[in-house]
Amino acid sequence: MKLPESRGEVSAALIEALARDPGRSRLPDTALAVGADPYGDDLQLALYLCYELHYRGFDGVAGAWEWDPELLGVRAALERVFLAALRADVPVTEDVGTALEEAVLAPAEAGGVSSFLRDEGELWHLREYAAHRSLYHLKEADPHVWVIPRLTGRAKAGMAAVEYDEFGAGRAERVHSKLFADLMADLRLDPTYGRYLDAGSRQMLATVNLMSLLGLHRSHRGALVGHFALVEITSSPGSRLLAEALERVGAGPAAVHFYAEHVEADAVHEQLVRHEVVAGLLHEEPHLAPDVAFGIAVTDWLENRLGEQLLSAWQDGESSLRVPLRGA
């Protein structure tokens, strides 16, 4: 994965620093981070860069950057800005049961992206959607693994069971990130990890950054469980719409298979997450209920922002990507 183009002062300084060894370059001043737009391109790309060091990293970037104390200080400043904005902007009910029921009872993305793609989306819309989502799906389930050591009992066992399925149940060709790479190839997209980072919108970056932020901090384990619960509970109906959309435009079998697989798998995962992961965590640590509810609410809020950005561009006949795809 190559370092991307910068999107502002913070990301530019960070990219310049990462191209050199730690201690031989100047990192962005934390004052720049504090003054950045919490949902803007610059801050979201900078956070994505910091988090990617904990995944597969970047070509030519020293591994020592991952735990560089000064870089972690910059990352912490960026995280504080992002989290403070989310806590100020996102309405949250502290009742986890109510939050989950609302997620289940609400029609899957009614009037949203999946419905649009199923009913009137064209092939180019689906290709753009896949390019955006590749920023997560090519490392699908990786951010959630970090929470497993922080759970106990039923919550740990349930989370491990779901993750086992996400990673192909021991079969490399069934790992969900591999299935998404196959989808991309079917849609004539480049399945190289991180290929569309420059093209991804700030709204897409924010949804992935949230997972990384919650996963990397033990103190946010409750919010990560809430986030994961919402993803799994809403995945099956949304995936059904996307599978139908891909079939309608004549996409190949690998593209359809990715979402068809999630229709079945995530219907099972919903029950595991609801009755083992969430219930198990709250049985052991009931004081985390407000954090679980926050994770549910903030995930829904960021996904809605992403959906609004995609639909606004598409309904105007424009590309939703920062760098439009070439070719048919």
Q: Give the pLDDT of residue 110.
A: 58
Cα–Cα distance measured from residue 90 to residue 130, given in angstroms and rounded to the nearest whole number: 27
Note down the domain range covering 160: 95-315
Total structural domains within the chain: 2
Q: Give the pLDDT of residue 44.
A: 98
The phi and psi torsions of 3 (rounded to 5 degrees) equal: -65, 135
pLDDT along the chain (328 residues), means of 10: 96 96 88 94 98 97 96 97 97 84 61 92 97 98 97 97 94 96 97 97 98 98 96 89 96 94 79 94 97 94 96 96 80
Q: How would DSSP label each residue in 4-72?
A: ----SHHHHHHHHHHTS-TTSSPPPPHHHHHTS-TTSHHHHHHHHHHHHTTTT--TT--GGGGG-HHHH
| Residues 30 and 164 reside in one and the same domain | no
Residue 112 is given by DSSP the state S
| Boundary residue ending a domain (88, 123, 151) | 88
Residue 145: other Cβ atoms inside 10 A: 14
Owner of token pair 């100020």: 88
Q: Give the pLDDT of residue 264.
A: 76
Q: Give the pLDDT of residue 61.
A: 97
Domain annotation covers residue 321: no
| Boundary residue ending a domain (88, 115, 137) | 88
| Boundary residue ending a domain (68, 88, 108) | 88
CB-facing half-sphere around the CA of 317: CA atoms within 13 A: 0
| Residues 65 and 182 reside in one and the same domain | no
Q: Give the pLDDT of residue 145.
A: 97
Cα–Cα distance measured from residue 230 to residue 224, given in angstroms and rounded to the nearest whole number: 10
The structure's pTM equals 0.95
Q: Give the pLDDT of residue 24.
A: 81
| Residues 165 and 291 reside in one and the same domain | yes
Q: Give the pLDDT of residue 267.
A: 74
Q: What residues contact 242, with CB distance under 8 A and at least 6 apart?
A: 114, 117, 118, 259
Domain annotation covers residue 1: no
Cα–Cα distance measured from residue 91 to residue 86, given in angstroms and rounded to the nearest whole number: 9
| Residues 38 and 180 reside in one and the same domain | no
How many residues are there in the chain? Answer: 328
Q: Give the pLDDT of residue 304.
A: 93
Domain annotation covers residue 202: yes
| Residues 211 and 165 reside in one and the same domain | yes
Which tokens go with 105? Answer: 């009872």
Domain annotation covers residue 325: no
| Residues 21 and 108 reside in one and the same domain | no
**Which CATH number do you get for residue 253?**
1.20.910.10
- Share of the chain residues as helix, strand and coil, in percent rounded to the nearest 5: 70, 0, 30
| Residues 143 and 245 reside in one and the same domain | yes
Q: Give the pLDDT of residue 154.
A: 97
Domain annotation covers residue 324: no
